[in-house]
Structure 1
Amino acid sequence: MQTHSLVPHPDFPPGLVHAVTARITPDGEWLRLRWRIEGAYKLVVPPFAGKGRADGLWQTTCFELFLQPPGEPGYVELNLSPSERWNAYDFGSYREGMAERAFPREPSCTMRKGEALAIFDAAVPASALPPAPWDYNLTAVIEEEGGIKSFWALSHPAGKPDFHDAACFTGTLAAADAA
């Protein structure tokens, strides 16, 4: 299990949200992910839409995982929404060759929100992902009431928010960790 404190992009500060942590846990047939949002008083949670693929999930509160085998140009992007919608994409290289990634079964997504704290859990079928080792990036787009959007990641490159940038892929998961 690896837990990370995400950092907001400096050009898009959050409102009341003051911390986002993310955890990645390989668990046999599943990869378990958890995001914890502190200061979630005005967090916008997309309404329940039922399981299924959807595009544009990042336009409101959404959680993402990017995986890249070390030394490879290609990577996988996984988008997970509190609405239970999701999507997964393969890229041949930086923002090039995008195609939907096949999944043997849908991820499970669960959002719990209290007054000041929200927790988003996801279980992703491990068989849908490339085999470890990986470099990875855990991210969150956080929307708060009033149209405030902040972009959280393990790291940010200079310039605008770009979760696809290799500078963001600072997490590592060894092959032995995935067993």
Structure 2
Amino acid sequence: MCLPVTGCGAKLTLIGPTALALEYVVRGDIGALKIPAATVAAQCDNLWQATCFELFVALDDGGYAEYNFAPSSCWAAYRFDDYRTGIRAAASAAPVVEAMLTKHRLGVSVQLDLGALVPDLNRRIGLSAVIEQQDGSKSWWALQHPSEKPDFHHRDCFALQLGAANGRDGNSL
């Protein structure tokens, strides 16, 4: 079986003490993917059930935050007390989410300030993606899969350690 996605990656740039810019890129036969249509930016639930990109951020109290960004420009922010427990909406400034489509590339850029949740970006994060095909099948992409079954909430998926913003170019994945 030949999957339409030939690659999935991300670039992260620290742009302030609590702000970052993300660029997620999917390469392949983009026409074979089910991509939510562009709409007015809004906070929406259940984005992870379709093509979306995610950011997980470890918090100082042992909990974590999950952010979902859809190519439609919709987004979601959740706070968990522990592994998949204590879920609630996270205090968050609205991110700016923009998508760019070509025949062989889907790019989604995000600018996000995490200041409502974290005092700085010196913490572990996870970057991931859910990619849905036109036939409804899905693939799951992450910096690291700690087990056979994808589980973005697993702490071992938080595979990137960020440092405080210092004016450098940022971190690339």
TM-score for the superposition, normalised by structure 1: 0.84
Q: Which moved more, 1:47-56 or 1:122-131?
A: 122-131
Q: Which moved more, 1:45-54 or 1:18-27?
A: 45-54
Uncovered stretches (5+) of structure 2, i.e. residues with no partner: 169-173
Higher strand share: 1
Match of 1:108 among 88, 96, 120: 96
Aligned to 1:77: 66
Aligned to 1:160: 149
Matches of 2:80 and 2:14 in 1, distance apart? 23
CA RMSD of aligned residues (A): 2.1
Check if 1:141 corresponds to 2:150. no
Change in CA separation of 1:106 and 1:176 when aligned onto 2, cut-off 3 Å = closer
Change in CA separation of 1:176 and 1:83 when aligned onto 2, cut-off 3 Å = closer
Match of 1:171 among 148, 160, 173: 160
- Report the alpha carbon displacement of residue 41 of structure 1 after superposing the two structures with TM: 3.7
Equivalent pairs counted in the alignment come to 165
Check if 1:18 corresponds to 2:6. yes
- Report the alpha carbon displacement of residue 159 of structure 1 after superposing the two structures with TM: 3.4
Whether the 8 Å contact between 1:65 and 1:79 is mirrored in structure 2 is yes
Structure 1 vs Structure 2: percent identity of aligned residues? 36
After superposition, give the CA deviation of every residue in 1:102-125 in whole Å (9 maximum; x if it has no partner): 12x311111111011111101112
Check if 1:65 corresponds to 2:55. yes
Aligned to 1:132: 121
Whether the 8 Å contact between 1:41 and 1:117 is mirrored in structure 2 is no
